[in-house]
Amino acid sequence: MSATSRCVFLGWTDPFLPGAADWLLERHGRDLAHLVVALPGSRAARALVEHLARKAGSELVPPRVVTQGELVDALVPVERPVASRLARTLAWSRALHELPRAELEALVAKAPESASEWLRLAEVVRALHGELAPEGLSFADVARRGERLDWTEGEARRWSALVRAQTHWRALLERAGVCAPHEGRSAAI
């Protein structure tokens, strides 16, 4: 795949997707396999491929069409397959469940009792990680910054427990041969 990207203004007179299909076929012919085309959503992506197929017929080799959200993953290859959201949540559940009791108590007032309660806690931690990771921050980064902010002892213990859980969570994903999407992207870049 070429590392060059190009924005093209197709004008205002014709509908966008048929115009984009015409432009792609005129510039690149029917074999578009070497292209990555990003569109705002999956419905637009499907519609573009339909327009291309209608215009090029059975000789079409379609481009890789991705949504805006998939574009980074299409352009930045990661070393290992990306773990699904469910796999990441289950790994968080296990990592949290295996924390020493004192560290778990720094996170929650009462330890979860059922599998569904563990999954709810894991989902909260997964979401917190999902907020920090795109910014290039780990729980350890936040804990270090918190030390400079003169956090309370409770906050420091809470982030320390999250650091330990995140370390175990990463090891679980690595043993499974997968990576977290944000961390895989960061490592690739």
133-144 confidence digits (pLDDT tens): 878 889 999 999
Q: Is residue 108 part of a domain?
A: yes
Please report whether residue 10 resides in a domain: no
Report pLDDT for 115. 96
User: What DSSP letter does each residue of 29-48 carry, written as one string?
Assistant: -SB-TT-EEEESSHHHHHHH
pLDDT in tens, 72-106: 767 777 778 888 999 999 999 999 999 999 999 99
- 93 and 69 within one domain: no
pLDDT in tens, 115-156: 999 999 999 999 999 888 878 889 999 999 988 888 889 999
> Residue 112 corresponds to which tokens in the numbers above?
């979860």
Answer for the pair 21, 55: CB distance below 8 angstroms, yes or no. yes
Are 21 and 48 contacting, i.e. CB atoms less than 8 angstroms apart?
Answer: yes
Q: What's the pLDDT at 151?
A: 84
Tokens of 149: 């902010």
CA-to-CA separations, 168 to 3, 81, 116, 173, in angstroms, rounded: 36, 19, 20, 9
User: How does pLDDT run across 8-31, given as a tens digit for each residue?
Assistant: 788 888 899 999 999 999 999 999
Assess whether 47 and 132 both reside in one domain: no
Q: CA torsion angle for 183, 187, 188, 189 (degrees, to 10)?
A: 100
Q: Is residue 27 part of a domain?
A: yes
pLDDT attached to residue 110: 94
If asked whether residues 89 and 182 sit together in one domain, one would say yes
pLDDT value at 3 more than 70: no
Is the domain of 100 the same as that of 146?
A: yes
Same domain as 89, residue 71: no
Domain total in the chain: 2
pLDDT digits 0-9 by tens, 41-77: 889 989 999 999 999 999 999 999 988 767 776 777 7
**Residues 145 and 62 grouped into a single domain:** no
CB count in 10 Å sphere of residue 46 = 12
Residue 28 lies in domain: 16-75
What is the chain's length? Answer: 189
Q: How far apart are CA 143 and CA 121, in angstroms?
A: 20
Whether the model pTM is above 0.85: no
